[in-house]
Amino acid sequence: MSDVIKVIDLKKQYENDGVVTPVLHGINFTIRKGEFVAIMGPSGSGKSTLMHILGFLDGLTTGKYVFDGKDVSTLDEDALARMRGENVGFIFQAFNLLPKTSVLENVKLPLLYSDIPTAKRDAMARKAIESVGLTHRINNLSNQLSGGERQRVAIARALIREPAVIFADEPTGNLDSKSGTQVMELLQKLNLQEGHTIILVTHETYTSEHAERILRIRDGLIQSDEQVKHRRMAGEGELK
């Protein structure tokens, strides 16, 4: 299995009014295509900053970041935006849906500034919505849905361009335990049955154990990088 992400001595610092604040102090790891990896760490550990860099929402300060064979370490903001639009999908804790807009239109949002014909956009969105089991809700407004359904819409939106990597940032944080379990079950299905590479950012041990590997980060450094010994399958106990 080939690598989709390779990070070498990645460092990130922010400067404000002459004050330099280091956040990441030299991160090294590799993620293979088709892996499901959880990134864990306490508040202030640097995990969100790392995800923003991996997802092309921010740039690194020094080091090297190779995505699907391409060194993206020195790309400017416009180039990062293109990489973000074409190669990754995002699922956020707050869903980030337009409230008085249909499920279909919400899922089509990533295609807004693309050259894809309108008719094809509808077909792509319908396929993504079907993959998360919400075809029966396709014409509902997002504010008519439950929290779990809204997150499934967000997952469909992340899938629409068939990205190389899906980033899930605390995807169960606003959900009750039952809805959260259903979301993790769906993410596992996308990984195990459809081969999607998924990077999950979470502070919850139970949620992280649905992944196959956990990167723990503390004080801007990788504390550990281990396979999950007793991986959980949502609703079914441990994976066999």
The pLDDT tens digits for 130-189 are: 999 999 999 999 999 999 999 999 999 999 998 999 999 999 988 988 898 889 989 999
Residue-level pLDDT at 61? 94
Residue written as token pair 């281990």: 226
Q: Report the pLDDT value the prediction gives residue 235, as an integer from 0 to 100.
A: 60
What are the distances in angstroms from CA 23 to CA 8, 60, 97?
16, 11, 30
At residue 237, the pLDDT reads 47
pLDDT at 225: 96
Residue with structure tokens 């299995």?
1
User: What are the mean pLDDT values of the chain's consecutive 10-residue runs (240 residues total)?
Assistant: 93 94 96 96 91 92 94 88 90 90 95 86 94 94 94 94 92 89 90 93 90 95 93 59
| Sole residue written with tokens 């809700």 | 137
Enter the tokens of residue 150. 């809204």
Q: How far apart, in whole angstroms, are the C-alpha atoms of residue 63 and residue 41?
A: 21
pLDDT of residue 203: 87
CA distance 197 to 204: 20
